[in-house]
A and B are shown apart, each in its own frame.
Chain A
Amino acid sequence: MSLQKSAFHGSGSDHTADQPIKPARHPWRWVAIAFVALLAVMFVHTLMTNPRFEWPIVAKYFTSGTILLGVRRTLELTAIAMLSGVGLGVLLAVMRLSPNPVLSSASWLFVWFFRGSPLLVQLLLWYNLSALFPDISLGIPFIGPDFVKIDANVLITPYLAALLGLGLNEAAYSAEIIRAGIISIDHGQTEAAQSIGMSRGRLLRRVVLPQAMRVIIPPLGNDTINMLKMSALVSIIAVPELLFAAQTIYSRTFETIPLLLVAVIWYLIVVSVLSVIQYYIERHYARGSSRSLPLTPLQGLRKLLGFGPRGRPALPDEKRSAA
């Protein structure tokens, strides 16, 4: 090594030691930013100058009653399908991991069917259930009298068909996500919980699932966004959700593009809100974890541009001593 003697004086002190330290330069970042900015300006320019976007019409329908009702329906469908789907998904995941072979194969079969066939086909099947089972009754199987007997056409409304289709589909997908989360937790956690006398149910609720959430939430967030968009499929069975609402209007007025834009903008708004919610849920379940939390979009932008707090101060969680 060619350490220059002159830099080090006899005592070992370095006379350059008090010079300022500056961060590395990133000239190419600025070139890239300029390029992307140019594209963005071009894009916005087209949006504003091409009259066929018909922004006044977009604005007119954006908050119309039909559209807002459609947004509400879409949110409702997404929320109910996700909640019931994930609830059933937990049950399916636990069944799948159960030592009882009947339970685990039943779960496997469920997932196989609902994940393996197209959602659109499932929706049509639910919608047309009355063709398969004209009457739906509740009673003792094979022998007994029916306590309740309902015409399937009455029971299975388009809305219920949509919920069944979306919810059961989500159950199949989330079952796998939740199972992956559960098996990612160290078996020592289970043993520690058992050693203080926890029951299986409590162990799952208090110890395994809260930890598994860290693995489960990102793909479930993905699923929620997917669900929001897939809910547009139920327009095929005449459920008046957002896309169907837009279609009803443009089938009358022939203002197809502006109304599709209305729908797209609403979907984007809702997805953005969902992403923010997901971000905070992730932070919540990161309690006690050593991995650093995801950056907020603002923090991310700052970091990219090289501004702002250099070397984010370590969160208390990251300051771990030897373990």
Chain B
Amino acid sequence: MTVQAEDPAPGIMMQAAGVRKSFGTLEVLKGIDLVVRQGEVMCLLGQSGSGKSTFLRCINHLERIDYGRIRVDGELIGYKERGGYLREMHEQEIARQRVHIGMVFQHFNLFPHMTALQNVIEGPIGVKRENRDEVVERAHGILKRVGLSEKVNAYPRQLSGGQQQRVAIARALAMRPKLILFDEPTSALDPELVSDVLDVMRDLAESGMTMIVVTHEVGFAREVADRVVFMADGEIVEQGKPADVIGNPSHPQTRAFLSKVLV
């Protein structure tokens, strides 16, 4: 991605400014301002329905926004600046931007007709047109890193939920993204499988990957996040160091939420 002239500041990977979004008459995002620095791990907490997923999906333009700007590595996502207004990009241009933004879904969304390895190499070979042999070698390395070197040729349905989610992370990683978005990556997992996925994410965080993680795993947020952001009713109501926000919440909504998840 080319760094454009209006690049806010070096070291900023994602910047949202005044992002607003409605579904019909329901305003789901009411002006989100947020900055995520390069290498930062940001955990997004909040009640169900507070707009976390919607915001995450706006970052790679799976959802359109009504107002505001979202930039990833300085580049405006999904729209082009015209004199005084924004024009939505064409499908191909948006696809080109998404190459740099990985996403991991709650329900994994692996391609069920492809093996783990095929899932991982599909993007680099089919979309980025990289050399097949190199990609396959890299994919083996990534699958090993997420602890699945035994399962390269397994189909998703032959894998446990935790294994599927790790393949999904490998699939995102294989694109060498600048940023990975996680939408409740462990919420659909059996409790005993959660830690395998969180371990992989912790490893990624330590390797310097920029991550935005929507999660209910407060323990993970406290331990791994550089910053915790708390959303309620489409707004960011509190953010800061995990120890402060989780340990000593100032907003009543945050307190109410934490008292529910920390039982």
Contacts and interface: CB of A to CB of B under 8 A. Distances in A.
Interface of A: 186, 188-189, 191-200, 202, 206-207, 210-211, 285, 287-290, 316-317, 319-323
A199 B91 contact: yes
18 contacts: A188-B105, A188-B107, A189-B111, A191-B62, A191-B103, A191-B109, A195-B101, A196-B102, A196-B122, A196-B175, A197-B99, A202-B127, A211-B111, A287-B113, A289-B112, A317-B155, A321-B158, A323-B159
A206 B127 CA distance: 11
A321 B157 CA distance: 8
A191 B156 CA distance: 17
Query: Which of the four size classes fits the interface of chain B?
Result: 35 or more
A320 to B, nearest CB: 5
B51 interface: no
Interface of B: 60, 62, 91-92, 95-99, 101-103, 105, 107, 109-115, 122-123, 126-128, 155-161, 164, 168, 171-172, 175, 190
A195 to B, nearest CB: 4
Given A191-B109, A195-B60, 16 more contacts: A191-B103, A192-B105, A192-B110, A194-B98, A196-B99, A196-B122, A196-B127, A196-B172, A199-B92, A200-B91, A206-B126, A288-B114, A288-B157, A289-B112, A316-B158, A320-B158
A199 B126 CA distance: 10
A189 B108 CA distance: 9
Nearest to B181: A195
A101 B155 CA distance: 38
A321 B159 contact: yes
Contacts of B99: 196-197
A189 B109 contact: yes
Contacts of A195: 60, 62, 98, 101-103, 105, 172
Contacts of B111: 189, 192-193, 206-207, 211
Contacts of A321: 158-160
Nearest to A321: B160
Nearest to B102: A195
Contacts of A317: 155, 157-158
Contacts of A194: 60, 62, 95, 98
A323 B161 contact: yes
B95 A199 contact: yes
Contacts of B123: 196-198
Contacts of B102: 195-196
Contacts of A288: 112-115, 155-157
A192 B159 CA distance: 18
Contacts of A189: 109, 111
Contacts of A290: 157
Contacts of A289: 112-113, 157
Contacts of B97: 197
Contacts of B156: 288
Nearest to B101: A195
B137 to A, nearest CB: 19
A11 B114 CA distance: 51
A196 B98 CA distance: 6
Contacts of A191: 62, 103, 105, 109
A218 B131 CA distance: 37
Nearest to B155: A288
Nearest to A291: B157
Given A197-B98, A206-B122, A322 B160 contact: yes
A257 B122 CA distance: 58
A293 to B, nearest CB: 14
A213 to B, nearest CB: 9
B125 to A, nearest CB: 11
A189 B109 CA distance: 6
Contacts of B155: 287-288, 317
A285 B175 CA distance: 27
A320 B112 CA distance: 13
A196 B120 CA distance: 10
Nearest to B103: A195
A202 B107 CA distance: 22
B157 A323 contact: yes
Contacts of A319: 158
Contacts of B159: 320-321, 323
Contacts of A323: 157, 159-161, 164
